Structure 1
Amino acid sequence: MITPRFECSQTEESIIVKVYCPSIRAADVETHIDDTLFTIHVNPYFLRLNFSYTIVDDEQSSASYDPSSGYLTVILTKETKGQVFPDLDLLSKLLAPRPSQDAPLIEVIGQGQETDQDEETDDLVAQTNALSLSSEQEEILLAAENDWQLPQQVSLTADPPISTSLTQTYGFLNAYSGYFRHVAHTENEVNELGPDAEICTIRERRVKRWKHEDEKWDEEHYMADFADDEYIQELLLWENPSATDSSPFEFTEEEKLTLLNLPRKEYLADAHQTKGLYLTLVTVLFAYAYETRTTQGDSTPESAWTISSLVPAFSALDPPPYSAPTSTATSPIIPSPSDLIASLSQSYRRSLCFPLYRSLRLAEACRSDVASLLLLGKRAVLRALMKTKYILDHHEVYYVYSKIWVDDFCVWVQASASGLHSDDALCEMGTALRGLQVPKRSIGWDLEELEDATRQVQQTREADSDDESEEESEVARQL
């Protein structure tokens, strides 16, 4: 079946769905309404939309087909008149299946199917809970009953789970493997794991990434950009229209087509995973902001390399978090300032040792761009992700990072990242980023000492230049 192009709009009383399905027989069109679900089937097209609120099929509902344009227009009645249906322009969200009510840690791929196994599942859960407790659990309960004071020790390290498989997973929610099996035979210049990309553990990936960053760090390059920053100042003055234009916008036809071609997935992540996704999103947006600012919105053949190099989750398959969890977080899913600093520190490090322009002030400007994007809400973030996806998809090697990360982020941001109807989570992160200061010590490489040394050299040169000018003036007077 083919998913047709479509668009949705609304009035006070109705939802209007326009579906492009040329060369069909109007008499063969089948529609069905079930609470919030609406389906259209006419060979070879099938469309299933999941709205935020209930729709009904009554006398005011209608459907008409225009053979000249190929558009089928369906008018659906709102159950509650005047109710505003949000996110009708987020096509991937409308195409997503109904949210599952089961436990998290599951990713549902494809169109969700309702089953009649709820009672069987409940019986299975009850039987599981009725099983005998382990000896350790029995000891704990017995201790509690007799008020014994068992010794307690808090683990100071977070050891990764034991795996019996040589192949490791990576990407969005660690859902992918096999994409780098033959990476040694490709021209993937950003891969920092070499031929071991498929078998490196999380800890090994991080160690290799840090080592590679230290090897690529160039003090002289940083000091040169710090001393002679004329062109960097031009980049700092440039305003990113994606991050500064707060007026409402409509997705272009090309963007709508991109949304339609995204995978149909439902992501059920726990709080720890969700926080990690938010932090990874920040690093991806930072790379996008850096690429956009340094090219002033006109991408180049090097843009895919720049983005892939600046995101640790791409080049080293090493996503956040990069710091130990803290008990001061106000939300189990929204990153704390310390979480954001730890993630941005990695982005700053990479922006100072890989691309052409290596400036801490440029990195600060990119952080400000990311904050502005987040404050503008999920549509602005989604557009930035789709631009990133476009750049990666058009590269013969780095498209792989779009497949294992950016595609899923485009779907997740629409329906999952900020709740059903709210941008509160994204705005909260944007507010935190706007007032954030990334300490230079968290980046490493003794940046303050290098900057002080550069200033001293500049002052010495200026003094010598003044002395030479005075000597030349004195000689000129004598002559």
Structure 2
Amino acid sequence: MLTPRFDISQDQNNLKIVIKAPCARVSDTELYIEDTEFKFYSKPYYLRLNLPGKVVENGREKATYDAETGTFTVLVPKECPGEHFEGLDLLTKLLAPKGMRSASGAGVEVLGTGTDDAEEEEEEEIDWQVEQVPWWENQTQSEMQPGMKYGFANRRSGVFSKLQEELQDVVDVREPDRLTHAECHEARMAAELEQFDPDHYLADLYEDDAIQELLRYQPPWVQELYKLKTCSKVSGSDSSTNQPEEEVLVFSEEEKEQLLRLPKREYLLDGKTLPVVCFSLVDILFAYAYNYRTTEGEDNVESSWTICKLSATLSWLESFSSLHESVLSSCRRSLSFPLYRSWDLTMAVLQDTKDIIAAGRRRVLRCLLHIHRLLSADENKYILNDLYITDYCVWVQAAGDKVFSSMAQALSDIHLSKADMKLELEELEHAARLVQEEEDTQVIDTMANLSLQESEAQDRCETTGLEAPVAEMVQISLTSKVDNSTEKVSSSKEILDQENLSSQTEDDSDDTDTSSESDSSSETDSDVDEEVTKGDKASAQRPQVLATSETPPDKELKSDHGCGTVDASSSCKNGKEDKDQEHLWLEVPDVNNRYRIVEEERCSDTTDRSLLFSQETSSKKQLITELQKT
């Protein structure tokens, strides 16, 4: 027999059951309505529903069939019109057989069936803050079976020893069927500490652009929780119906298909096992919330790995003894294994976990169904569905709302600090701040030195009357080219001495021919200027400030520049105003590699890197004329 796909909705007076049976034999269709049971049979389909409220067959029932879509639509009257049937979207729960309504033995009871409010009120109140001692720790070693138990409610054992080769990469713990829970716990803590990378943590702390983007993301359960709180305020705090939750959280067709494929089971959990189940559920939901936020709802190929790695339940088959231990483990692992390892991100994911549980069992169920799909598509980790997720999907539908409200309240009272992680986070951040402050101090000192150098250069500029760049170039020239200037001075002296000797010889030999003497002297002066100019041109191949030595043409001669006037006579040795005393003439290149000769309140531009004045250029008029020629 095949179980057809179906969907249920309700109004004030009726239930509307839509059954998709395209291959049904319509002529042989049978319907059965009595008390809380509804049965549909049309070969080869069979559907039996255990309804949360009573229905009645009173002549107002109605059934139609659409041949094009192969769909049956059945209207079933409620026994009490106006009654709200809770949990009609929890299809797996509706398909479960009608179970026992009382405990079958001492200390064992059916919890969270959700079918009787009086029974929910009688459920044992769970003290989430008191550390629970797992049942296996109360037993002696002789009473314990070899290896630890794992899976939903610790009901499984020996699975990994039978499928060791196939399940090598499913969990991190090695040979779980030979270890105790205490040994597994110690191995897990050591692995987390070894995996923690301080450099990775500090990198995400200071280079947090991507993390800040993730922190701004709002997952869907934030809006859902807001709507639920709004609806609760509108309907009143004493409202006993969950109709707003059903309207806000609507399962998709894919999720309904999953619910139909889930097994029909009922779980008997005692008072010690129920907290262990809840602790592991928080651990699994934290891992799911981390993956959802870091991928912004878009799963990737690493999603199943991320969920299993962050959940100690799925990766180490851990069973927690308290809610605080469960939350602490999730936060530690979020700082040791995944791509983003940030304390702020961990706290945001913890808040997401609280919001998911506060939103109720439908939101929790949707998250579990999502995990179930991710693990089913993984090559190896599908076995974790059989051990944990499938059972959680079935159990959540039957668990009472009081379990989740109590769990949400307990989570809201948990506050963790960085010291609780036992990863020396505060010490790392303090050391990083010291290093950062030291680097900032070095940068400030460097900038201060540069500022001081610039200030000194500016002072030199104001003292010499030159612009700062010009003053620096003058300083470089005077320092590095002093030898070259000395050679040029010596060369000029030799040429002038030879010229004077030649002139005296010509005066003694021929006193009558004055015009010839004047021509010879002019020719000699011209040759001297040519030689000196050639010498300067030969040394002008280097693009730098040149300094040449000449006899000052006038003791009061000054150089005028755009940034001030410089007294040329100040460069004379010992401040003497002797015409034979030499001083340095500065030739400063401008931005176009032209050279400016600054003298006698006039500037002359020349592409020639050297301009020398003859000894006879002593008057202002001759100097100006020679400057104009250039």
Report the TM-score when normalising by structure 1.
0.79
**What letter is aligned with 2:62?**
S
Matched, 1:102 2:103: yes
Contact in 2 for aligned 1:170/1:177 (Cα 8 Å): yes
Query: Residues of 2 paired with 1:13 and 1:89: CA distance?
Result: 18
Counterpart in the other structure of 1:144:
none
Structure 1 residue 367, shift from structure 2 partner: 0.7
Q: Please, which moves more after superposition, 83-92 or 93-102? A: 93-102
Matched, 1:465 2:443: yes
| Partner deviation per Cα, 1:324-349 (whole Å, 9 max, x = no partner) | xxxxxxxxxxxxxxx33221101111
Matched, 1:173 2:156: no
Matched, 1:217 2:200: no
**What letter is aligned with 1:252?**
S
1:239 to 218, 221, 225: 218
Query: Residues of 1 paired with 2:150 and 2:86: CA distance?
Result: 33
Query: Residues of 2 paired with 1:394 and 1:476: CA distance?
Result: 67
Matched, 1:359 2:342: yes
SS at match of 1:2: coil
Query: Residues of 2 paired with 1:340 and 1:209: CA distance?
Result: 18
**What letter is aligned with 1:193?**
V
* Structure 1, unaligned runs of 5 or more: 109-156, 322-338
Query: Residues of 2 paired with 1:199 and 1:42: CA distance?
Result: 51
Counterpart in the other structure of 1:202:
181
Contact in 1 for aligned 2:224/2:249 (Cα 8 Å): no
Contact in 1 for aligned 2:170/2:380 (Cα 8 Å): no
Structure 1 pair 316–163 and aligned structure 2 pair: CA distance change class (3 A): farther
Larger Rg: 2
Percent identity over paired residues: 37
Counterpart in the other structure of 1:396:
379
Counterpart in the other structure of 1:304:
304
Counterpart in the other structure of 1:408:
391
Structure 1 residue 83, shift from structure 2 partner: 0.4
Matched, 1:228 2:229: no
Structure 1 pair 367–261 and aligned structure 2 pair: CA distance change class (3 A): same
Structure 1 residue 435, shift from structure 2 partner: 5.0
Query: Residues of 2 paired with 1:8 and 1:415: CA distance?
Result: 18
**What letter is aligned with 2:434?**
Q
Structure 1 residue 7, shift from structure 2 partner: 0.3
Structure 1 residue 206, shift from structure 2 partner: 1.4
Query: Residues of 1 paired with 2:170 and 2:382: CA distance?
Result: 12
Query: Residues of 1 paired with 2:186 and 2:420: CA distance?
Result: 17
* Structure 2, unaligned runs of 5 or more: 111-135, 228-247, 458-630
**What letter is aligned with 2:327?**
L
| Partner deviation per Cα, 1:437-465 (whole Å, 9 max, x = no partner) | 11333321222222222222222222222
Q: Please, which moves more after superposition, 200-209 or 364-373? A: 200-209
Query: Residues of 2 paired with 1:448 and 1:190: CA distance?
Result: 34
- Correspondences of 1:124-163 after superposition (within 5 Å): 158-160=137-139, 162-163=142-143
Cα RMSD of the aligned pairs, angstroms, is 2.6
Contact in 1 for aligned 2:205/2:342 (Cα 8 Å): yes
Structure 1 pair 348–31 and aligned structure 2 pair: CA distance change class (3 A): same
SS at match of 1:33: strand
Query: Residues of 2 paired with 1:396 and 1:165: CA distance?
Result: 31
| Partner deviation per Cα, 1:251-291 (whole Å, 9 max, x = no partner) | 11111101111121101101221111111111111001111
Matched, 1:376 2:359: yes
More relative contact order, 1 or 2 (CA 8 Å, 6+ apart): 1
Query: Residues of 2 paired with 1:397 and 1:8: CA distance?
Result: 36
Query: Residues of 1 paired with 2:170 and 2:334: CA distance?
Result: 14
Query: Residues of 1 paired with 2:437 and 2:169: CA distance?
Result: 40
SS at match of 1:231: helix
Structure 1 residue 373, shift from structure 2 partner: 1.2
Query: Residues of 1 paired with 2:411 and 2:94: CA distance?
Result: 30
Structure 1 residue 188, shift from structure 2 partner: 4.9
| Partner deviation per Cα, 1:366-419 (whole Å, 9 max, x = no partner) | 011011111211111111111111111111111221221111111111112xx1
**What letter is aligned with 1:353?**
S
- Correspondences of 1:270-309 after superposition (within 5 Å): 270-309=270-309
Query: Residues of 1 paired with 2:441 and 2:223: CA distance?
Result: 42
Contact in 1 for aligned 2:309/2:315 (Cα 8 Å): yes
Structure 1 residue 183, shift from structure 2 partner: 5.9
